[in-house]
Amino acid sequence: MKTRIITAIVAIALFVPVCWFSYTLVFPIAISILCAMGVFEMAKCLGFHKNLALGIPMYIVALSLPVFRRFTDSNATFLSYALLALFAVLMYFLAYVMLRKNKDKISDIMTLYALFVYVVGCFSSIVLVRDLPNGQYKYLLIFIGAWVCDTFAYFVGKLFGKHKLIPEISPKKTIEGSVGGIVFTVIAFILYGFIIKRFFGYEMSYVMLGVLGLAVSVISQMGDLIASSIKRQYGIKDYGFIFPGHGGVLDRFDSVMLTAPVLYFGFIFF
């Protein structure tokens, strides 16, 4: 527990200045580093972390895309380039399988590719939300949503949990905890909207925030369960050890990752 607390304090001490300078390249560079580390952890989980032929193009794209957003004129332009980069990696992977003459199973390579797209797409979405109009107020909801839901789901489940949610994937999660996470996330989103309006003069619809809070709380729990399901299937406890007591990047950001694209499209459609 002591290690977890110390790690959390250090992480917060780094997180705050990165967010403070989110309008500079500091923010997308930090996201790019996390993205590349996440791709490495996923490759290691699947047993491909020593394969540089597959790894190098993945790491180049993972390090480049979040930063590259700041050098494009809009999110739409960035998405076009991002799709091109991901398609190029797909073609490269298929060529790799062909040239290797089926020494590697194409199903394994495509699983690696799909999870690579998942990690890169989710981390890039964090920068996309930050670069929306008034994004300096919106992107923090990614972290608020994921971490409030995770925290209150844990404590509510600890106090009142009786019915298991999906014990085959995560034995400790309960239905009561899940509901608690949803309720407190919705409250946190609406409260955040009130604070932003009161102190910064930017107004967001409370109805919109309530709906997004509901969606985010459900999706963030799905992200956690997806990450746990992958770990169980491949027989690992943690994705990494970069955060002592917490695991790797994917262990710490599993809920955040899936929340980011949901919020991005939520703000676009609203």
DSSP state of 201: -
Task: Give the global pTM.
Answer: 0.93
Looking at the DSSP assignment, which residues form a beta bridge with residue 166? 170
Q: Which residue among 96, 113, 131 closes a domain? A: 131
The CA-atom distances, in angstroms, between 212 and each of 119, 141, 178, 236, 264 are 22, 9, 16, 33, 10
Residues 147 and 246 in one domain: yes
Domain count, the chain: 2
Residues 178 and 225 in one domain: yes
Residues 105 and 175 in one domain: no
Residue type, 34: L
Residues 106 and 181 in one domain: no
| Geometric angle at alpha carbon 259, from 228 and 145, rounded to 5° | 100
Q: Which residue among 74, 97, 131 closes a domain? A: 131
Residue type, 176: E
Residues 76 and 159 in one domain: no
Residue type, 266: G
Residues 29 and 65 in one domain: yes
Q: Which residue among 103, 131, 159 closes a domain? A: 131
Residues 261 and 149 in one domain: yes
Residues 183 and 72 in one domain: no
Domain residue limits at 255: 135-270
Residues 156 and 267 in one domain: yes
Residues 91 and 174 in one domain: no
Residues 146 and 172 in one domain: yes
Cβ contact 185:145 at 8 Å: yes
Residues 109 and 202 in one domain: no
Cβ contact 61:89 at 8 Å: yes
Instruction: Give the residue from 79, 8, 83 showing the smallest Cα distance to 244.
Output: 8
For every one of its 270 residues, what pLDDT tens digit does the chain have, with 9 covering 90 and above?
Answer: 667 777 778 878 888 889 999 999 999 999 999 999 999 999 999 999 999 999 999 999 999 999 999 999 888 899 999 999 999 999 999 999 988 876 778 889 999 999 999 999 999 999 999 999 999 999 999 999 999 999 999 899 988 888 898 888 888 889 999 999 999 999 999 999 999 999 999 999 999 999 999 999 999 999 999 998 998 888 888 898 887 767 889 988 988 999 999 999 999 987
